Amino acid sequence: MSTSKAKTPQTMKSATAAKKLGILLSAAPAEFQEGPVSRDELNALQADPPSWLADLRREGPHPRQVVAAKLRVSASGLARAGITGPLTTAEIENLKAENPDWLQREQAIQAEVRKEELRLKQQRAKA
């Protein structure tokens, strides 16, 4: 005779959930930071984001990966420019408006990297 156990929900650390949601964990509400997040809770947050999540995604502060994507540079490019912390949307927009030399240089590097990745992908597809 086999006994069936009730499935326990799959959970993840709040830091992992924050990364999947593209938000900075330290900017999230305490109740989100403190406990594990189930897969169902994460799916619900993605499908119908509460106001705090929508605000964080819209205004920031944003984690490095999100900042890099919004500026069209790599995370390494941010580090080379001395940007190590999170930035708000307003700060990102100010950087875009100022368009400093380092930003132009890092965007050109990132564009070359993407072009090369595309070339290699097409080359592999032909083979």
Task: Find all residues with CB under 8 Å of 20, minimum gap 6, and list them.
Answer: 12, 42
Angle between helices 64-71 and 89-98 (to 10 degrees): 30
pLDDT digits (tens, 9 = 90+) for 13-49: 999 999 999 999 999 999 999 989 999 999 999 999 9
Model confidence at 6: pLDDT above 70: no
Cα–chain center distance at 21: 7
Task: Find all residues with CB under 8 Å of 25, minimum gap 6, and list them.
Answer: 14, 15, 18, 33
Domain residue limits, the chain: 9-59, 63-126
Rounded Cα–Cα distance for residues 81 and 68 (Å): 11
Question: Lowest-pLDDT range, 22-26, 63-67, 123-127?
Answer: 123-127
Model confidence at 102: pLDDT above 60: yes
pLDDT-derived band at 63 (thresholds 50, 70, 90) equals very high
Q: What is the pTM of this model?
A: 0.81
